[in-house]
Amino acid sequence: MPELPEMENYRRLLSQSILNVPITDVVVNREKSLNVTIDEFTSALKGSKVIFVERRGKHLVFHLHNGGRLLLHLMLGGILYLGRRDEERPSRSTQVEITFGDQVLYFIGLRLGYLHFLTARETENALKDLGPELLDRRMTKARFVELIGKRRGALKTTLVNQQVVAGIGNCYADEIAFDARIHPLSKIQDLPEESLEQLYDSTVKVMHEATDGGGYMEMPFQEGDELTGAYNDECKVYDREGEPCVRCGTTIVKAEHTSRKVFFCPNCQHEV
């Protein structure tokens, strides 16, 4: 599932490509991906413009010039692709296609995800339970330690809880724990303050590196895009079961916790 780095990468690329370009066509191939009828959705979008693209946790919010919003959550398997009209379209099925001038934004894999047309207030209400943003300037080390330190339970479970902090999922929870040299199943309540402070430093480091590195998406955003997905090769433990640890050479192992895969180095990361 796309996480903060993947969605932030998309936000940056979309902001360079579609802002203030009139929407000239809308194709919906799966009405269940919407929250309104196809006619309502198409009528609301045609002729409008996206003036701002915001990311909130794992969501993107497209701000329309008429005050409306498009709220996107890609969920598992969702991706975006922007192509020119005269280019070959993606071979995968698309649930929604929005045309901006001579470019088409394809929403792919929205079987579990959604693209909802909402008012500003409805959007705010839909996102109200999300925790604070990790990369917001207001997220200081002291605030992070306070937020995380009062939780109970496994570190990984806490990091992926979107009501605690927004944007971390399975992949980066494991990467953060590895960078901090903390076992992902350590109990939050047992971690000393210095470990929580290190956890903050590792969170900021991994999130910035992964975002600037294009995240781990499987498909480029557009033709010629060599950034999107490039960070997949930089992951140290996630999906690296059986490979040697980049720090000590010990074999990376995979476990399961609350139905989630957990990857870690049993030598570098000790459970508190």
| 184 is known as an active-site residue | no
User: 182 vs 49, 136, 152, 174, 208, CA distance in Å?
Assistant: 46, 24, 16, 10, 19
Q: How many CB atoms lie within 10 A of CB 166?
A: 21
Active-site hit among 11, 55, 56, 58: 58
260 catalytic? Reply is yes
Confirm if 94 and 111 have CB atoms less than 8 A apart: no
User: Known catalytic residue: 58?
Assistant: yes
Tokens of 67: 């005050």
Q: Residues 2, 5, 184, 220: which is the catalytic one?
A: 2
Catalytic one of 3, 6, 97, 175: 3
**2 a catalytic residue:** yes
The catalytic position among 254, 260, 261, 266 is 260
Q: Pairing relation of β-strands 59-64 and 69-73?
A: antiparallel
C-alpha distance from residue 153 to each of 63, 136, 190, 195 (Å): 37, 25, 9, 15
**What φ, ψ does residue 22 adopt, rounded to 5°?**
-60, 140
CA neighbours within 13 Å on the CB side: how many for 107?
28
Whether 73 contacts 111, CB under 8 Å: no
Give the chain's radius of gyration (CA, Å). 20
Cα torsion 197, 138, 150, 257: sign:
negative
Which amino acid is residue 95, in one-letter code?
Q
- For 137, how many CA atoms within 13 A lie in the half-sphere containing its CB? 0
Q: Which two tokens stand for residue 225?
A: 């895009």
List active site positions: 2-3, 58, 260
